[in-house]
Amino acid sequence: MAHDEFNSGARHGFDMALFAVRNVDKNIKYPETHGELGETPWQEQNITYNAQKDLLYKIYRAIQKEQAIEIIDENDY
């Protein structure tokens, strides 16, 4: 019974963390075409965009990895 409660809470926590990462990912905007004078050049916007996406991907995979380790398999007991 205690493992079920732990798994339920842990699973919910990990799911909420993954949900938060997905929400941040949705808010990252793809670079616009060339803007006005004084705006960040498209190439720099693209580098920033790709760096943000790569970082979020790494965070997402790390959460999934920890989730697989932390959630106790009911068949182990």
Could you read off the pLDDT of 1-31 as tens digits, one per residue? Answer: 456 777 788 888 999 999 999 999 999 999 8
Alpha helices in 1-77 (DSSP H): 2-27, 42-70
Identify whether the C-beta of residue 42 lies closer than 8 Å to the C-beta of residue 32. Answer: yes
Is the per-residue pLDDT at 34 higher than 60? Answer: yes
What pTM did the predictor assign? 0.76
Dist. CA 32–CA 1, nearest whole Å: 53
Dist. CA 23–CA 10, nearest whole Å: 20
